[in-house]
Amino acid sequence: MTSHDDERLDLTALDPTRDPMSFERRVRATVAAAMARRKRTTTTEALRWWRPALALAASLALAAWLPVLLGGGTDEPATVTRTDPALDLLTLARADASPSAADILTTFGASR
């Protein structure tokens, strides 16, 4: 009776280096494909998105200007209900008197 240790499988058919020329061709083809993929990802993949980005920018611009283009806007300028905090701070700094705590809190939005 023979044991399984005595029976060895012949795996030489699975050796990729059996045919050195064929093995070298496969290695070169794999390296060339990897280099082409790397080059594609750094240049063409970045440029591939310019058209969708341009289309999105144009759509957003059109959506923002659509009411004006359709004549839905008024001829009067829009009134600003909230002042610029930097302008308020500048006004407080130029005042002859020291600002009160309430003025400072109002300027920085604590009362809102």
Q: How far apart are CA 70 and CA 9, in angstroms?
A: 82
What does the pLDDT average to over 52-77? 80
pLDDT at 82 over 70: no
pLDDT at 31 over 90: yes
pLDDT higher at 49 or 59: 59
Q: Would you list the domain boundaries of the chain?
A: 15-71, 81-112
Helix H, strand E, coil C: the string for 65-101 is HHHHHCCCCCCCCCCCCCCCHHHHHHHHHHCCCCCCH
pLDDT reported for residue 59: 92
Q: How far apart are CA 48 and CA 71, in angstroms?
A: 37
